[in-house]
Amino acid sequence: MIYHFLDRQFNHLTLIDTEATEGIVVEDDIQTISLTNGTLLNTLTMDIKKQTGPKINEYDPNSPYETSLIKEANYVVFQDDRGKAICLYVRALETEDEITRPISCVDIGTELRNGSATIFTSSNPQYVEYYVNRELFDTGWAIGLNELGNDIKRLVDTSTDETPLARLQRVCEAFNCEMTFTVDFQNMQVLRKLVNIHYKLGSDKTNKVLYSGVDVISMNKSVDIDNIITAIEDTNQGFNELSIGDGRFFTRVGESVVYDREANALYGRGNTSVERFSGFIVGRHESSGDSQIDNYNELRGILEERSQPTFSAEVDMLFNDGDFEIGDWLTFVDEEYNPPLRIKARVLNKEIHRSNQSENKATIGNYQLL
């Protein structure tokens, strides 16, 4: 792995090549990639051995080492296993001593957590680019990929004091989308800093099956029902004339509500044995389809996801960074779990130990039982 360190004007300062026989020595270089409130963010930590590598002036025996150039606010750029440029900046130097300089780096996208978002009254639904462009004005950032385009309008609460990054995460929640932050480089010079808007990150790779005891060394699981719903109402009243029932999901004419009979029997508030409709836990969503059946399918899809307990697990398993990406769906099988567990789950976090990938870990969530 080659790490390039740049100053705030993106001028090159020094580099670290972890595979070089000579040069700056680092230990415990760990990259974490996580999907947080709809935004994909990277962090990087490493311990730099201060008295290693070249000196700033190789002809002067008293010259300081180039490691002295690595300090807070420096940018760090490297390529991941897929050849994608990752850009972070040094947020902090932690517990430094005479030998070691531990550094903590965060995603360049977190620059947007400085300052305040624009506060204004938003009374009409708008396209996603309307909200995003307001927060990116005069920041040096621009919209790159926009998969949503002009397909969906939403009303976002813009009346609260929050950071631009928090506002973007609020937009992600309202539009049920996800965002990434990327930097386009040419010869280590920045061409563009981009906010990319995705429907959802990742892809379906459930044909990749990971078995406990073979691919998975250990799996620590957590389950909760704090955010579960058993019915969902369309605030647009987008399918009032539909009457659909398949045994589990059903609707009634005169209202735009999808009910989940099975989830309500397990997690509802009771009073369901005679279909009194008083035990359902109702969530709300604004549909965006052009037909009643499209609106129904949109809300049913959300209900299918939210009518199950929230599941997350930290998985200690054998993988390399390039094997799968954040957002990908994989299949996990644990025959030793009681009862045996076979799930489809989404990768939400990867911890990549760059110097020793046998220590890699991942966090999965949004599971579906198979």
- Cα angle 333, 336, 342; round to 5: 25
Distance of CA 334 to the CA centre of its chain: 25
Q: Residue 325: which of 86, 16, 113 has the closest Cα?
A: 86
Judge whether 70 and 101 are in contact, CB under 8 Å.
Answer: yes
pLDDT at 59: 93
- pTM for the model stands at 0.77
- Number of Cβ atoms within 10 Å of the Cβ of 180: 21
Q: Residue 241: which of 250, 252, 230, 227 has the closest Cα?
A: 252
Which regions of 225-301 does DSSP assign to beta strands (E)? 231-234, 249-250, 257-260, 282-285
pLDDT band at residue 345 using 50, 70 and 90 as cut-offs: confident
d(CA 87, CA 74): 11
Identity of the highest mean pLDDT range in 172-181, 309-318, 361-370? 172-181
d(CA 343, CA 134): 40
Mean pLDDT value across residues 211-232 = 82
pLDDT at 33: 96
Is the confidence at residue 338, as pLDDT, over 50? yes
- Number of Cβ atoms within 10 Å of the Cβ of 82: 8
pLDDT at 272: 47
pLDDT at 90: 96
Q: What is the per-residue pLDDT across 42-82, written as a single tens digit (0 to 9) for each?
A: 999 999 999 999 999 989 989 999 999 999 999 999 998 88
d(CA 36, CA 179): 10
Using CA atoms of 162, 166, 167, 171 in order, give the dihedral in degrees to the nearest 10: -150
Q: What is the per-residue pLDDT across 140-155, written as a single tens digit (0 to 9) for each?
A: 999 999 999 988 888 8
Is the confidence at residue 14, as pLDDT, over 90? yes
Using CA atoms of 143, 147, 153, 155 in order, give the dihedral in degrees to the nearest 10: -60
CA-based end-to-end distance of the chain? 38
Mean pLDDT value across residues 185-190 = 82
Cβ contacts of residue 209 below 8 Å, gap of 6+?
A: 330, 331, 332, 333
pLDDT at 2: 93
Helix (H) or strand (E) holding 50: none
Q: What is the mean pLDDT of the chain?
A: 89
Q: What is the per-residue pLDDT across 74-112, written as a single tens digit (0 to 9) for each?
A: 999 999 888 899 999 999 998 889 999 999 999 999 999
Q: What percent of the chain has pLDDT over 90?
A: 57
| Structural tokens at position 362 | 């991942």
Q: What is the per-residue pLDDT across 259-275, written as a single tens digit (0 to 9) for each?
A: 999 999 888 887 545 55
CA-based Rg of the chain, rounded to a whole angstrom?
Answer: 24
| Greatest distance between any 2 Cα atoms in the chain | 88
Least reliable range by pLDDT among 14-18, 160-164, 214-218: 214-218
Helix (H) or strand (E) holding 66: none
